[in-house]
Structure 1
Amino acid sequence: MRILLATDAWEPQVNGVVRTLTRVVQELKAMGHQVEVVSPDQFKTFPLPTYPEIKVAIGVYEPVQERFKAFEPEAIHIATEGPIGLAARRICVEWKLPFTTSYHTRFPEYVSARLPVPLAAGYAYMKWFHKPSGRLMVATPTMRDELSRHGFRNISSWSRGVDTELFHPRRPTEPDIFAHLPRPIFLYVGRVAVEKNIDAFLGLDLPGTKVVVGDGPQKEELALKHPQVVFTGFKSGAELAAHYGCADVFVFPSLTDTFGLVILEAMATGTPVAAYPAPGPIDIIPGSGAGVLAKTATEGLREACLECLTLDRGRVRAFAETFSWKNCAEDFLRNLQPYPEPEKTRFWRRLRRLARVRRRPKAA
């Protein structure tokens, strides 16, 4: 099947959305599908205000149209609500093409954390954007229920996965990268930005050492406020896996994520996870034996961190092994809404004919 993926989040951005999409594309290609990715690196861009690492594409509508025509997709998925997603949505609506969308970020909460924009305005935009979608894919039951309460329709589940070969428990031959620091090690990995609620973790009275892995606009502010915290900067690949594997507890204080892939990455190394009962953690952790939830979204994170120290790391790893990227890609395929064979053939033939008519020079 020819699948077109339109996304405003792509490499070299580093976040859970990009990791999910890039890995799913790899899995789809391994299954024999053709995937055309329309992403910001193919256009002129400008840095997003207050978030310069994210590049926003400009002048995308006509080029995206041409990509549709050249590729003739049999299924279309719009992953994000930015300029590329908007262009793809407009094309699908105008040409009456079926398409699916996904909800990766609690966008209204994210915007409200940075700007004086009411949540209602953010949700109004998101409902408008996703309304024509045949299926809106979400990662967890909690997000499905939350969006249903806000009036979203056609919601389907789309699981997540983790690379259990890269993210593995520390082996006896591997060094402890935190050997020079007082134990226990409480670790955070991810964007260092206000919407991640990192200050709630760094302000906890915990023994040992807090370590923050990642970069972002709030890094300097938090480093000044919490001089006792170790900020390592961005890590990836085997180096990132080693940071997970050498930590005693992974702390996930975010209230705005829809899943949190870093939770599974930490668990795959055997490191238990302490988190607030927010979408993502509340769907993954209860009953897993792989982490502990705080009592509320504002209290009890310290107690959850300390309780994680008592968990069996072997059981934590075993739980992570139940998630796979292949299952994630298969979920994605089941949610797609391709054109019926005769209809899609007629549609693209008609579109090619119209394009030829428009390009035909006028008679003198």
Structure 2
Amino acid sequence: MYIICWRRKKTLFVIFFLPRPKQRKRKTQGCAGSLNLNWNNLRGMDNEKKRSASFSKGLLQSGELYQYVLETNVYPREPELLKELRDMTATHPRAIMATAPDAGQLIAMLLKLTNAKRTIEVGVFTGYSLLLTAFTIPEDGKIVAIDMNREAYEIGLPVIRKAGVENKIEFIESEALPVLDQLLEDIRMKYFKILPGNENGFDFAFIDADKINYWKYHERLMKLVKVGGIVVYDNTLWAGSVAMPEECTPEILREGRERTLEFNKLLAADPLVEISLAPLGDGITIVCTELFIQSLNHFKHVCGGSLFNYCISQGIMKLNKESQRPPFSFKCLVLGFRLLLV
């Protein structure tokens, strides 16, 4: 600070000069720093991480925080054979494709909450999520597991056999869309033999496959999964790149980022589903079909408009006579269809 004083006649003049404060240089982050991404997860892992198998795709603020979640909440409840399969997968060159254990824990809870018995899995890899599902569903449960690469599946197959759950798994080495189309056709044929028609549908589906076909999978799964069932889509945050400017996105992530953004946008605009995007692993989106709307959509798709409208009206009349209140879901449709057959 500087002070200048002078006197003029009887007046004293004082001027204070304050130095301009130095501006602190703002720490700037490059594009890669705009998100807390561990690029080692995408470009390979060091030997220590491979040994510990704790490299999972967490998006938390720090690796220490993610490790805390795993060690206090996930690993203590993880079955020993799942841990064995996780450790085996950690040495694979594409280990980043494996389901994150914290995401797997939530999937197991969803399977239990929905009492899932018949499930679909698109994208198996070494089978971590597949084994987790087989552990969770009942003894007479079934999993239709679809993957183009049987070689990766066979890495985890010895552990699956050791667990004694191979009988629950129907592994299909194929592209997923033709298999889903065939399953859909099979269920359509049963609409006219078993009422209500979707009793032989699926309770749960887990999708961890090629992002370019996610929406096509979604369209088919909305017809395959039963009313009130759950579909879980993996990698819906795509290593956090969905929140990153395109010019800052590493080349290795760009195509997947574009597909994921498109899928997330379509899913958010779908009025027939309830959704929740959980920031676990690489992001998992949980989808539940709105019960009443899906019931109508299923029946209309199979039976056609005029028959559909007739069954609706007859079913409502029947329920009204029995003093039953809406939502009427499949019950009124089935009642109306049965009245038509009689």
Same-fold status (TM-score > 0.5): no
TM-score, normalization: structure 1? 0.29
Computing the radius of gyration from Cα coordinates, the structure with the larger value is: 2
